[in-house]
Structure 1
Amino acid sequence: MVNGSCTGVGCCEVDIPKGLKNVNTRSHSSQNHTKVENFNRCGYGFISKHLSKNFSIDSLRTLRSQKMMPMVLDWAIGNETCNDVENKSNYVCGDNSSCQNSEDGCGYRCKCKDGYDGNPYLPNGCQDIDECENRNNCNHLGQECINKPGKFTCACIKGYHLDQSAGVCVASQSSLQVKLLVGVGISFIVMLVFSSWLYLMVKQRKLIKLRQRFFEQNGGLILQQKLSKLENSTATAKIFTTEELRKATNNYDETLIIGRGGFATVYKGFLPNNRIVAIKKSKTVDESQIEQFINEVVVLSQINHRNVAKLLGCCLETQVPLLVYEFIPNGTLFEYIHHKNKASIVSWEIRLSIVAETVEALSYLHFAAFPPIIHRDVKSSNILLDSTHTAKVSDFGASRLVPRDQTQLTTMMQGTLG
């Protein structure tokens, strides 16, 4: 016996002929092997799938332990051919299917037509396949896939036409020009956007450097150093940024101006926490007095007196520093003295109270504050009145601090003439 050989020695095989109805197997030996030792008298017969069994000598010993062999069921419907049944009522192939004669010579089977898939034995079992879902179809440049029942076609998209000789879609001349123009336009827009972005970046950097220069020039570093020593105090001044005050005044809208003088303009502002403030924008600044100005900001921010307008902070990122005070809603004493319609509503008791409160505030600044503060610009327009006509002394732009080592200080009269 030879491994892999099944030609009659120890093994024999035969294909089942087409159309065969019955199969019987019988094995026998053509010689008498009764005297041969270890001769296995058992014989095995079975049906298996074509080429699924490769005979070997070991098969004679192990075949008995194999319980199953691979088989394929070949079947067909009835005994008639497609020509016999296609026009009969018992024809079972559904729509979009075709009839195929059985290879065994009798009966037929059904199969979905090309471009369809499903169960061909159901009335609507074969459904159209969308070939356009396969990206390999019509994947050449300028082509698009168009699905049709049972098939698909490749068509040229807009701007392309079919080259009959090459059988491919090529770009039209006008399409090339359009693409060129579009490409140039996009490139120009990209360059414009990039240039604008670069310009804004450079401008922003210059603005940041300018603000930093103003901040240092206006004593910002000195103020930060002094405020750091007052960290435990809850009444220290806040350093506002330019953007914060610009938003608070709606970019210094003229409708928010509540006071105008020879040296400054005062705006009504709204902080993000809904607090209303008065923002004083000076017109000039004496650079030689910057350190004294910073000292006054630190001292004034710590004053907590009911008759002194509270200084909340400042902004040093502009050419001229901006001061932020609490907002006093009822105007100045000047208006109540010189405007008849306002003067008539203020009683003598209120007037006396205003005088007493103003004197009390000045007395506090001269004798209780440390270091003492000399206002130097006391006038009716610098005395504000709140909603209850309580006096608030304001505008310390011309004030002077009395040095600690001096008991007397001579100053010149300051303020607006008249």
Structure 2
Amino acid sequence: MQNTVSFNDFVNDDFGNGPSSMPTVLQWWLDVDSDRDLVVKDPRSASRWRCISLNSFAAYIGDAVNKVRCNCSDGYEGNSYIVDGCQDIDECLRPDVYPCHGTCINMPGTYRCSAKKRIISLAGLITIIAIVAGFGLLFSLLGVAQVTKKLKKRRAKKIRQKFFKKNHGLLLQQLISSNKDIAEKMKIFSLEELEQATNKFDHNRILGGGGHGTVYKAILSDQRVVAIKKAKIVVQREIDQFINEVAILSQINHRNVVKLFGCCLETEVPLLVYEFISNGTLSCHLHGKSENHLSWKTRLRIALETARAIAYLHSAASISVYHRDIKCANILLTDTLIAKVSDFGASRSIAIDETGILTVVQGTYGYLDPEYYYTSRLTEKSDVYSFGVILAELLTSVTPVFSSHSSEGTSLASHFVSLMSGNRLSDILDTQIIHEGGVEDAEVVARLAQACLSLKGEERPTMRQVETTLEDVHNSKVKLSSQITRVNQSAMKDQPWMGNKGGEGTRLYSLEKEIIQSSEIPR
């Protein structure tokens, strides 16, 4: 080993103050030829030599080919001139010098930095698997639900199309498209439209119901308030007739007949869309809990308006329409107490030249024509009889079937005719009419009601004659005596009302009682 030693020489300074120190430099190197105990040949080293310690290297000094100096390799530190003098550095212990933002792993001569690994417990793994499986199951169920929903919609659409064809929807569409007047008044609604208008026929939307169906209040997409009727017809023959009636009713335009806006044919039984009348029925005002009692003048006007509507149905159109269920519950009143005849579920059409048709008996107890009940022959006089009961109700404020002291279920029609035959109208006349001074007019109307309630249809006046008589009373154009004479002549022709009819009253009572006790009438 060669070395150069430079040390501080002790000399006196210029002022003779004693010795002072000087800088000293110590340098050394190995001679590869003579220092073989400290250096070892290593072909992998750049100088082909390494020091005696592993993990070290020998580097040439300057341009000398035999002078080297020992150093520890990168990642090692210590004394390279002794055996095992160079030791591995643990970089993980010096994060300030060897930064690592993950997991530091020490390796010989270096280190490795790996991303942090989350240690998942078995419970956590099970939870994750359960969550993934749950989501998978949920998505599967949602998928199945969507498919099922689409299949149901497709099936429902096919069913609606089937009912539409079965209910002659194509023919009705043709009729509407070919007739401009009908097209303006009538529309074929989809079931979806009416479900939306009634909140899927919510029970809270029910306005009322009868023998022919249930009526719902609805608000259409154009904000019109309407009444939708779900009929109870289930026999195909009756549905066929019903569709014919829809075509007829769509052409009826009378201020005292409830307007038909359209229908829906996508259900087993067609749905009807009528104008909404807000003030309830005449029955409610006469017999209900309404605090606003109808005056005699208002009752007379309602009777006249109803008669006009029925007369229009009977004779104004090319095909007559027999309502077949005229009653107070089917006369609706507007806010201004204008009468509107409604509920044509039992109505039948008949050609002008026909005198009547044989049908299954339909009607309501207390209003049903006895002749129609026994013969099944429906004529325009059947509606006249039912209207006669309404006149009796307006005069007496008594229900069509009431309880009396002698028996239960007494018929107003038979009782009224019996009293009229004995000139005892005052026994049953509503006291409100007496207080309002309408006794004279009431007597004329009572005689008219008596004529309408005749047992034989041919002895009853027509609705046109009834309308004319009520107009005279309402307008007070003639005196009481001439009014009675006119009604007698027009309604009874050669059979005066004032004749002996005591026997007829008794007979009528027995017939009505039998009808009331019968359970065969489909209402």
Higher mean Cα deviation, 326-335 or 222-231? 222-231
In 1, the alpha carbon distance for the partners of 2:99 and 2:301 equals 98
**Displacement after TM superposition at 1:277 (Å):** 0.8
Unpaired stretches in structure 1, ≥5 consecutive residues:
1-148
Q: CA 1:362 to 1:411, structure 2 compared with 1: closer, same or farther past 3 Å?
A: farther
Show the counterpart of 2:349.
401
Aligned with residue 313 of structure 1, among 256, 262, 274: 262
Is the aligned partner of 1:264 residue 2:213? yes
In 1, the alpha carbon distance for the partners of 2:222 and 2:237 equals 35
CA deviations 1:200-248 (Å, max 9, x no partner) are: 1112212212222222222222221221212454534211222222222
In 1, the alpha carbon distance for the partners of 2:210 and 2:106 equals 83
Is the aligned partner of 1:377 residue 2:325? yes
In 2, the alpha carbon distance for the partners of 1:162 and 1:182 equals 34
In 2, the alpha carbon distance for the partners of 1:154 and 1:202 equals 56
Give 1:395's aligned amino acid: D
Show the counterpart of 2:424.
none
Q: CA 1:349 to 1:308, structure 2 compared with 1: closer, same or farther past 3 Å?
A: same
**Displacement after TM superposition at 1:197 (Å):** 0.9
Q: CA 1:359 to 1:152, structure 2 compared with 1: closer, same or farther past 3 Å?
A: farther
Show the counterpart of 1:197.
146
Is the aligned partner of 1:348 residue 2:296? yes
CA deviations 1:243-295 (Å, max 9, x no partner) are: 22222222222232221212311111111222111111122332113332222
Give 2:146's aligned amino acid: W
In 2, the alpha carbon distance for the partners of 1:187 and 1:335 equals 60
3-state SS of 1:320 partner: coil
Q: CA 1:171 to 1:339, structure 2 compared with 1: closer, same or farther past 3 Å?
A: closer
In 2, the alpha carbon distance for the partners of 1:189 and 1:318 equals 35
In 2, the alpha carbon distance for the partners of 1:209 and 1:369 equals 38
Say whether the 8 Å CA contact 1:222–1:294 is kept in structure 2. Answer: no
In 1, the alpha carbon distance for the partners of 2:131 and 2:279 equals 63
Show the counterpart of 1:364.
312
Show the counterpart of 1:250.
199
Q: CA 1:301 to 1:169, structure 2 compared with 1: closer, same or farther past 3 Å?
A: same
CA deviations 1:13-50 (Å, max 9, x no partner) are: xxxxxxxxxxxxxxxxxxxxxxxxxxxxxxxxxxxxxx
**Displacement after TM superposition at 1:306 (Å):** 0.3
CA deviations 1:165-204 (Å, max 9, x no partner) are: 8946666454765554443233222211111111111122
Q: CA 1:200 to 1:400, structure 2 compared with 1: closer, same or farther past 3 Å?
A: same
In 2, the alpha carbon distance for the partners of 1:255 and 1:399 equals 28
Is the aligned partner of 1:410 residue 2:357? yes
**Displacement after TM superposition at 1:365 (Å):** 1.0
CA deviations 1:97-155 (Å, max 9, x no partner) are: xxxxxxxxxxxxxxxxxxxxxxxxxxxxxxxxxxxxxxxxxxxxxxxxxxxx9x98554
Show the counterpart of 1:292.
241
Say whether the 8 Å CA contact 1:235–1:301 is kept in structure 2. Answer: no
Give 2:355's aligned amino acid: Q
In 2, the alpha carbon distance for the partners of 1:201 and 1:176 equals 37
Higher mean Cα deviation, 232-241 or 167-176? 167-176
**Displacement after TM superposition at 1:396 (Å):** 0.7
Q: How does 1:100-119 map to 2 (within 5 A)?
A: none
Unpaired stretches in structure 2, ≥5 consecutive residues:
1-95, 367-523
Structure with the greater alpha carbon radius of gyration:
2
Q: How does 1:21-40 map to 2 (within 5 A)?
A: none
Q: Which runs of 4+ in 1 moved over 6 A?
A: 161-166
In 2, the alpha carbon distance for the partners of 1:337 and 1:163 equals 104
Show the counterpart of 2:176.
227
Say whether the 8 Å CA contact 2:212–2:231 is kept in structure 1. Answer: yes
Q: How does 1:51-90 map to 2 (within 5 A)?
A: none
Is the aligned partner of 1:323 residue 2:272? yes
Show the counterpart of 2:189.
240
Give 1:264's aligned amino acid: G
Is the aligned partner of 1:276 residue 2:225? yes
In 2, the alpha carbon distance for the partners of 1:234 and 1:202 equals 34
In 2, the alpha carbon distance for the partners of 1:163 and 1:370 equals 109
Higher mean Cα deviation, 272-281 or 225-234? 225-234
| Structure with higher helix content | 2
3-state SS of 2:208 partner: strand
Q: CA 1:223 to 1:233, structure 2 compared with 1: closer, same or farther past 3 Å?
A: closer
Say whether the 8 Å CA contact 1:241–1:317 is kept in structure 2. Answer: yes
Aligned with residue 187 of structure 1, among 118, 133, 136: 136
In 1, the alpha carbon distance for the partners of 2:339 and 2:211 equals 23
Q: Percent identity?
A: 46
Give 2:312's aligned amino acid: Y
Q: CA 1:155 to 1:225, structure 2 compared with 1: closer, same or farther past 3 Å?
A: farther
Say whether the 8 Å CA contact 2:177–2:183 is kept in structure 1. Answer: no
Give the count of matched residue pairs.
265
Show the counterpart of 2:155.
206
3-state SS of 1:307 partner: coil
Show the counterpart of 1:138.
none
Say whether the 8 Å CA contact 2:176–2:182 is kept in structure 1. Answer: no
In 2, the alpha carbon distance for the partners of 1:162 and 1:233 equals 91
Q: How does 1:7-18 map to 2 (within 5 A)?
A: none
In 2, the alpha carbon distance for the partners of 1:364 and 1:181 equals 75
